[in-house]
């Protein structure tokens, strides 16, 4: 029988595991007003970012990402604060977010009379949205509504031995329950293209996987030049890894062993369930935005060196690869996969993570949430501003 979780029903058919009211600037120029509103009403979640204007190629992608963050299942309602003269218009974002049928409002600072009037206006809207959102109660949903994002950051020699394979067991469990997992960070797939292609559900998906990984390898060479080998060659793998393939296998194992059903771009939402590959950068902060914009209600983040970062609208569950780091940064880590090195079976750690995922889905806070490690929305860019 399919397992269930306690979530918040959204009118587009999705289910959230949190019930946030978000304040989103359409452009970085509106961050100050967003911050003033968030100071006055701390229950609101500010989605600070650095973009919204001055971009050619990326403007559409950024607009899609911001709209998808607004549509996110964990978000009950959204206030978009615009400046007035930016490329990514607050009105357009509000219209895009409104296609999910959730409450969304917007205004422009230039039309509202500056910072103080805009802040007061925004506080009124947000208080009303929070009161409405508070009336919503959790109810049971099947696990097939869940999208779980996978991330690894600050990896060490044991990330691929303890934390990532344990998370792979959790991915298999969720996919077998009808759910979805998102694997991203293209640079960490280099060398495993043929293995991932073999797992594709059809030749079209296999072709997209091949192209995505080949492009990532080319981009690494283009951007890093003589430094590229430090990212992608076996030469720096004296930690016992003989090839880049072996290193990447330690990363992709997070996604378990089930078929890959779709490849999506940065700023896109999956249309399939099961294992999904997201074409995105290796840089954690920008990668997490892609994963969040794809609609992941939670993320699992494995870390060896120890990274405390969370995400504004998505609970992030931290899995430590060694007991040493877990003990040093216990306040930031949810699970210690390092016990595998002391003889605890991997199945047992996988089960621990699965149990904690169930609790987090039902509302239990992750360490990143407790520490208010929301950070800011970092958006991927490839081209300079104009």
Q: Which helix (H) or strand (E) holds 8?
A: strand 4-9
Question: Based on CB atoms, which residue is closest to other proteins, 52 or 304?
Answer: 304
Question: Based on CB atoms, which residue is closest to other proteins, 193 or 303?
Answer: 193
Beta strands 316-320 and 298-303: pairing type?
parallel
Question: Based on CB atoms, which residue is closest to other proteins, 162 or 261?
Answer: 162
Question: Based on CB atoms, which residue is closest to other proteins, 226 or 343?
Answer: 343
218 binds other proteins (CB under 8 A): no
In sequence order, the β-bridge partners of residue 192 are none
Are the beta carbons of 27 and 93 closer than 8 angstroms?
A: no
Of the candidate spans 4-12, 33-41, 136-144, 158-166, the one that interacts with other proteins by CB under 8 A turns out to be 158-166
**Nearest distance from C-beta of residue 83 to other proteins, angstroms:** 49
State the Cα–Cα distance between residues 232 and 370, nearest whole angstrom: 36
195 binds other proteins (CB under 8 A): yes
Q: What is the dihedral of CA 46, 49, 54, 58, to 10 degrees?
A: -110
Candidate list 6, 157, 201, 219; residue touching other proteins; CB under 8 A? 157
81 binds other proteins (CB under 8 A): no
Q: Which of 178, 216, 177 is nearest to 196 (CA)?
A: 216
Candidate list 342, 372, 383, 386; residue touching other proteins; CB under 8 A? 342
345 binds other proteins (CB under 8 A): yes
Q: Alpha helices, DSSP H only, in the chain?
A: 31-40, 59-71, 90-98, 109-112, 115-134, 164-176, 193-198, 203-224, 228-232, 244-252, 284-293, 323-328, 346-361, 367-370
Question: Based on CB atoms, which residue is closest to other proteins, 337 or 360?
Answer: 337
250 binds other proteins (CB under 8 A): yes
Question: Based on CB atoms, which residue is closest to other proteins, 39 or 198?
Answer: 198
236 binds other proteins (CB under 8 A): no
203 binds other proteins (CB under 8 A): no
Candidate list 153, 165, 274, 315; residue touching other proteins; CB under 8 A? 165
**Which CA distances in Å does 292 have to 151, 153, 177, 269?**
11, 16, 21, 9
Q: Which of residues 252-271 bind other proteins (CB under 8 A)?
A: 253, 257
211 binds other proteins (CB under 8 A): no
Kindly give the interhelix angle for 346-361 and 164-176, rounded to the nearest 10 degrees. Answer: 60
Are the beta carbons of 83 and 115 closer than 8 angstroms?
A: no
Of the candidate spans 38-46, 70-78, 236-244, 371-379, the one that interacts with other proteins by CB under 8 A turns out to be 236-244
Of the candidate spans 1-9, 59-67, 144-152, 157-165, the one that interacts with other proteins by CB under 8 A turns out to be 157-165
Count the residues of the shown chain that bind other proteins, applying the rule CB under 8 A.
26
Candidate list 8, 20, 141, 158; residue touching other proteins; CB under 8 A? 158
Q: What is the DSSP letter of 307?
A: -
246 binds other proteins (CB under 8 A): yes
Sheet arrangement for strand 316-320: 260-264, 274-278, 180-183, 147-152, 298-303, 316-320, 335-336
Question: Based on CB atoms, which residue is closest to other proteins, 24 or 161?
Answer: 161
What does the longest C-alpha to C-alpha distance in the chain come to?
A: 64
**Nearest distance from C-beta of residue 214 to other proteins, angstroms:** 13
Site string for other proteins, 94-133 (x = CB under 8 A): ----------------------------------------
Sheet arrangement for strand 15-16: 15-16, 4-9, 139-142
Q: Which helix (H) or strand (E) holds 7?
A: strand 4-9
State the Cα–Cα distance between residues 45 and 38, nearest whole angstrom: 7
Candidate list 340, 360, 377, 378; residue touching other proteins; CB under 8 A? 340
Candidate list 225, 226, 240, 384; residue touching other proteins; CB under 8 A? 240
Residues in the site for other proteins, rule: CB under 8 A? Answer: 157-158, 161-162, 165, 191-192, 194-195, 234, 239-240, 242-243, 245-246, 249-250, 253, 257, 340-343, 345-346
């Amino acid at each position: 029988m399919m397992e269930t979780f306690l979530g918040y029903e959204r009118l587009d058919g999705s289910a959230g595991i949190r019930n946030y009211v978000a304040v989103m600037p359409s452009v970085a120029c509106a961050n100050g007003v967003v911050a003033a509103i968030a100071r006055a009403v701390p229950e609101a979640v500010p989605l600070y970012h650095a973009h919204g204007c001055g971009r050619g190629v990326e403007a559409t992608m950024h607009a899609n990402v911001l709209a998808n963050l607004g549509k996110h299942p964990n978000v009950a309602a959204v206030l978009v604060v615009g400046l007035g003269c930016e490329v990514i218009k607050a009105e357009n974002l509000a219209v895009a977010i409104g296609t999910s049928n959730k409450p969304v409002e917007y205004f422009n600072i230039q039309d509202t009379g500056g910072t103080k009037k805009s802040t007061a206006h925004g506080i009124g809207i947000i208080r009303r949205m929070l009161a409405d959102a508070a009336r919503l109660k959790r109810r049971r949903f099947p696990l097939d509504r869940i999208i779980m994002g996978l991330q690894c950051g600050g990896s060490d020699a044991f990330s691929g031995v303890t934390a990532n394979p344990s998370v792979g067991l959790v991915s298999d469990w969720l996919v077998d329950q009808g759910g979805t997992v998102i694997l991203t960070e293209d640079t960490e797939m280099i060398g495993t293209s043929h293995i991932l292609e073999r797992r594709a559900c059809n030749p079209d998906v296999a072709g997209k996987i091949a192209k995505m990984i080949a492009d990532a390898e080319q981009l690494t060479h283009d951007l890093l030049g003589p430094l590229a080998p430090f990212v992608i060659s076996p030469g720096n793998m004296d930690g016992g890894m003989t090839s880049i393939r072996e290193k990447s296998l330690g990363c992709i194992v997070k996604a378990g062993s089930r078929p890959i059903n779709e490849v999506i771009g940065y700023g896109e939402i999956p249309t399939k369930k099961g294992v999904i590959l997201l074409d995105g950068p290796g840089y954690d902060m920008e990668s997490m935005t892609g994963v969040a914009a794809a609609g992941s209600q939670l993320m699992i983040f494995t870390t060896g060196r120890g990274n405390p970062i969370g995400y504004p609208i998505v609970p992030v569950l931290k899995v430590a690869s060694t007991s040493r780091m877990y003990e040093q940064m216990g306040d930031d880590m949810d699970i210690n996969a390092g016990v595998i090195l002391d003889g605890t079976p991997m199945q047992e750690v996988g089960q621990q993570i699965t149990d904690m995922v169930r609790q987090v889905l039902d509302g239990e806070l992750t360490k990143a949430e407790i520490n208010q490690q929301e950070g800011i929305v970092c958006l991927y860019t490839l081209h300079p501003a104009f």
